Structure 1
C-alpha cells in the first residue's frame, strides 16, 4: 500500500490497486465521527456508443442508459439496498454525471458492514423486465419535472448550442422516449462493459484504520471472480475544431416573470493530460473568480448598472472530452447581459495586467476555500477524479495554486477565451416578441 504524506495538512493518503484492477484510496481522519465512502465507475451519460466486452462492433444504446442503470442497481432480488444501508445506520445515495457514476454511503457506525453492502450491491446486478418497466415511470416523472424547470432548460439550452453533435447536450437522464427503449439486455450489456473493478475506484475517508479497512475490501473482492477486462472503447461524434458547428444564439418562451440569459463558451483549446489538466482547471477557476467574483470590478459594474442581480452565477466544467464556461442569470436586459459578458471575455487580456493586487487577494481566497473543503469528508472523496487528473486529490491542489502566476492566467485567457466558441441562449416570458 502506497502512502502519500501531505505534511502541511497533517494528512496521509493510502492507495492500493488490487489484483482485479480496483483502485482503493483510504484517508484516515482522526477525531471525525463520520466515514464516507464512494464507489465510482468511469461510465457516464456520454458513453452510449461503445464496443462491448468481447465484441468487435460498436453498439449505440438509448440516451439515459447510465442514469437508468444507476437507479436499477439498488433494486435486488427480495430487497432494496437503501433499506439494507438503513438497517446498519447509514445514509446512501448515488449520482450520474456526463462521465462517471458513483454510489456512496456515510455512517458513524458499522463501517465494515456498510462497506460490504456497497461493494456487493454494485457488483451484483439484478434486473428484471418487470422492475425495468416500473423504473421507466419513475424516471419519466423525473425527466418531466426537469423539463418544466426554466433554470434546467436554460442550462441544457446552452449545452445544445455549444455541443450540437456531442452527447453532452443530451440530458443525463435521457428523454421519456429514449428511456422507453431501454431493455433489461441493454442494462446488462452496459454493466458488463463498464462495471469492472479495473474501470472503477473506491475512496474511503473518515474515522478508519487504513490497513484494517483495506483488508475488508480485499477479503470482499477475493470472494468474487471477474472476467478478463479490456478498457472500453467509447466513440464520440467528430466536432469542428474551430467551433463552426456551434449554434450562436437560440431562445425559447416559458412561463417566467423575467428573462433568463446564459452566455456559453466552448473550450476550443486543448487541455493537458493528467495533473497538468488539474492545473489548467484551477487556473480557469481562479481566472473566473478574478474577473467575475462578487468583489471584482467587472461584477460590481454589471451589478450597479442593473444588468445582473443576485441570481448571476458562472460555472466551469471540465471532463473527459469536453470543457466549457457559462454565465447565467435573470435579467431585465438580456441583450446587454450577453454583450457585456462577451466584452469582458474578449478584453480579458487587457484587463488582467491591471489586477495585480486583486490577483493576490483572489489567490488567497481560493486557497482558503480549498482548505475549508479539507474538513469535509464528502468534499475530499467527491473531489477525486480518478484517471482524469492522474489520481490527484484536493490535497494536491494547494501546491498548484501556490505556483500560479498572473501571467499564467493571461495565457489561459488567451487560449480559452476564443470568440469562435461563444454562444448565447435566452428564455423569454410568454408573449414577448423576439
Structure 2
C-alpha cells in the first residue's frame, strides 16, 4: 500500500495518510504501547452551513437552521438495530457532536477496534430516513431545544453571539429553533447528506497501537459506493459587518446570581491555515497575560468579589468569524465590564510585559507537549486543525515562532471598546 508520512522529530510523532477507494482521507498516528484506540470520522460540515449549492445542482439552496445537528441524531438510527448497543456489545463507547463548523462521529475501545471501525463507517454512511422517523425526531430535538432555552449558561452565550453578529449564522443555536426544525424533511436531509457526507468532504483520524494496512483494508471493505464526488463545496455565508450589532443585551432567568459573557468581535477574518492558527494562539496568550489566574488584575478582582472561580477567558475563530470571550458570574457585571475596559485602554507595553509573554509561551509549549501523550487530546484537536488547513504536527514549531511583537500588534488591533458586547442574565 502506498501512503504518505509526516514526521516531526521534535515531538517524535508521525502521521501516516492515504485515501480510501471512495475518496475518504485517512490519517493514522501510531501510539505503540497504548491500550486505548480512538477513531474520529468527521465531515467538514457544521451548523453554519445552511446556504450551499448541492452536488449536481446549479442553484443555491437554503436549508432550515439546525439541520446538521438533526442529521447527526438521525444517523444513529438503523432499520434493524441500535448503534449504541452494537458498540456496547464489543466493549466500545460511541458518541458524536455537531459544532458550528464540523460534525464528528467517534468511538474508543481497548479491544475489538477493527470491528468498531467497520461499525463506524457503516452507520455514518448508511442513513435510514423515513417520513415517520423524521417527524418523531422533531419532537425529541424540540424538547432538547426547550431544555437549552431554560439553561441560563447556554442562554447568556447565545444572547452574546446575537449581540455581536448581525447576519452570520453563528448567532443561531446549533440545534436550530422550534420553528426551523419543523421545516426539516426527509428529502432535505438526503440532499444535505449527499453533499456534505460525500467521501471527499470527510476525514477519518485513527490513533493507537494499530496496523495501518488493516485500518485501510477495513475502511475499503466497509465504505459505501458513492456516485458523486466533489472538490470544494460552494458554501454561502452572509456578509457580516465588522462592528458589533448591540453593545448590551440583558435577560432575567432562574439563577442564583448574575451571569455574564463579554465578547470582543474580531474584525480580522477571511482566511484560514497557518495565519489563522497563529492568530488563535497569539490571542489566547494575550488573554492569559491580561486576565489569567496568575495576574495581579485577576487576583484583585477576585478579592473585591467582582469575579469567582467560574471566571475564564478564551479566543475562538474560524475563517468567517472570531471572538474573544470573558465569562463567569458576578454580582456587579457592569462594574466588571468597566474594569475590563479600563485595562484594555492602557498602553500595550504597560499591560503586556515581555517577561509574562515568555513565561506563558513556555507554559503553552509544555501543555502541548504533555497533550501529545494523550490520545483524547490528539484525537480532539487533529480534525479541527485539519479542517482549518493546518496539521497538528506543525503546531509546536508555529508556537515557537511567536514573538512579543506579535502580541503587541494583535492587542492594539483586536482589544478595542467598539468591538465589545456584553450579555447578562440576571436572577428573576
2:357: which partner in 1? Answer: 359
Contact kept in structure 1, 2:312 and 2:327, CA below 8 Å: yes
Report runs of 4+ in structure 1 exceeding 6 Å deviation.
Answer: none
Q: For residues 336-380 of structure 1, what are the alpha-carbon distances to aligned partners after superposition, in whole Å with 9 as ceiling and x for unaligned? A: 111112222333624345x22222221121122212211221210
Name the TM-score, length of structure 2 as normaliser: 0.95
Contact 1:261 1:338 in 2 (8 A): no
* Counterpart for residue 230 of structure 2: 229
- Between 1:412-421 and 1:258-267, the stretch displaced more is 412-421
Q: Are 2:75 and 1:73 equivalent residues in the alignment?
A: yes
| Shift in alpha-carbon separation, 1:378–1:87, aligned structure 2, 3 A | same
Checking the alignment, whether the CA contact within 8 Å between 2:271 and 2:320 is kept in structure 1 is no
What is the SS of the residue equivalent to 1:36? strand
Within 1, Cα distance between the matches of 2:296 and 2:397? 28
Q: Does 1:209 align with 2:208?
A: no
Unaligned runs of 5+ in 2: none
Q: TM-score, normalised by structure 1?
A: 0.94
Using the alignment, how far apart are the partners of 1:197 and 1:351 within structure 2?
51
Q: Shift of residue 19 of structure 1?
A: 5.0
Q: Distance in 1 between matches of 2:220 and 2:200?
A: 14
Distance 1:68 1:350, change over 3 A: same
- Whether the 8 Å contact between 1:263 and 1:341 is mirrored in structure 2 is no
Q: Which residue of 2 aligns with 1:290?
A: 289
Equivalent pairs counted in the alignment come to: 425
Query: Are 1:12 and 2:14 matched, yes or no?
Result: yes
d(CA) in 1 for partners of 2:104, 2:196? 13
| Distance (whole Å) between structure 1 residues aligned to residue 341 and residue 24 of structure 2 | 44
Once the two structures are superposed, what CA deviation does each residue of 1:296-343 show, in whole Å capped at 9, x if it has no partner?
122122222221111111221112311111111111111111111222
Which residue of 84, 87, 90 maps to 1:88? 90
User: 1:46: which partner in 2?
Assistant: 48
Task: Please list every run of 5 or more consecutive structure 1 residues that lacks an aligned counterpart in the other structure.
Answer: none
Is 1:427 aligned with 2:425? yes
Which deviations, in whole Å up to 9, do the C-alpha atoms of 1:180-226 show, x marking residues without a partner?
A: 221111111110111011111110011112233223223434x6233
Q: Secondary structure at the match of 2:226?
A: coil
Aligned counterpart, 2:251: 252
Partner of 2:411: 413
Preserved contact between residue 261 and residue 337 of structure 1 (Cα < 8 Å) = no
Structure-1 residue corresponding to 2:321: 322
| In 1: Cα distance, 2:147 partner to 2:319 partner | 28
Cα 1:210–1:346 change in 2 (3 A) is farther
Describe the superposition over 1:373-417 as per-residue Cα deviations: whole angstroms up to 9, x where unpaired: 112212101102255432411x32211222212111111112222
| Structure 1 residues 256-267: aligned runs within 5 Å | 256-267=255-266
Q: 1:386 to 1:198 in 2, by over 3 A?
A: farther
